[in-house]
Amino acid sequence: MVGVLVHQLTGWPAPLVMLGLAVLIKLTVTLSSGLEEGAYLMHHFFTKAAAYPVLFVLGLTLTPWQVLLSVLTPVYLITIVVTVLTLALVGLIVGRWAGLNPIESALINVCHSGMGSVGDMAILTSAHRMHLMPFAQLATRMGGALTIVIALMMFSVYQN
């Protein structure tokens, strides 16, 4: 509700507002341990009970099948494979360099190539790493916005 309210007042995306609010609450330790444990249990329950049905229904209904099948040419398939492999390799190298779990870092980085939240869920479910969903959401939303900003800046520089 807070995210939607702030979105209506300011125009900021509700999921980002809620993410920022959750980080702020966690950093300031204003939530009781009982509520924090309850939130964790709800998250754990829904990732176990609802992940597969939600993934199936959203993936099936949101995928533009006619368009997808019409563009499956060798050039696009090579581009897709190279993109995913590059994202995985960069995530692996940076994760190892930063002292993080390199496999989980690669998975989070690969989430950039998915279809938003449904893609994140598909990637993390197939890797049995649903506990990384908050990080995948952050990477998808913030990483996507940052990618667009950098691309627009590059277009403005190289346009002339």
Integer Cα distance of 14 and 16 in angstroms: 5
User: Contact at 8 Å (CB) between 111 and 140?
Assistant: yes
- Give the model's pLDDT for residue 103: 94
> Which of 21, 133, 25 has its CA nearest to residue 12?
21
List the domain boundaries for the chain.
Answer: 1-32, 58-160
**Would you put residue 72 in left (φ > 0), alpha (ψ -120 to 50) or beta?**
beta
**Would you put residue 101 in left (φ > 0), alpha (ψ -120 to 50) or beta?**
beta
Integer Cα distance of 47 and 92 in angstroms: 25
- Give the model's pLDDT for residue 105: 92
Q: Which DSSP state fits 128?
A: T
- Give the model's pLDDT for residue 160: 62
b/e map 61-86, b = 16+ CB within 10 Å: eeeeeeeeeeeeeeeeeeeeeeebee
Integer Cα distance of 82 and 88 in angstroms: 10
* pTM for this prediction: 0.61
Could you give the 3-state DSSP secondary structure of residue 32?
A: coil
Residue with token string 């959401």: 137
User: Contact at 8 Å (CB) between 105 and 92?
Assistant: yes
pLDDT tens for the 160 residues of the chain, in order: 777 888 888 887 887 788 788 888 888 888 888 888 888 888 788 877 877 787 788 778 877 888 888 888 999 899 989 989 999 999 999 999 999 999 999 999 998 887 777 788 888 888 989 888 888 888 888 877 788 888 888 888 887 6
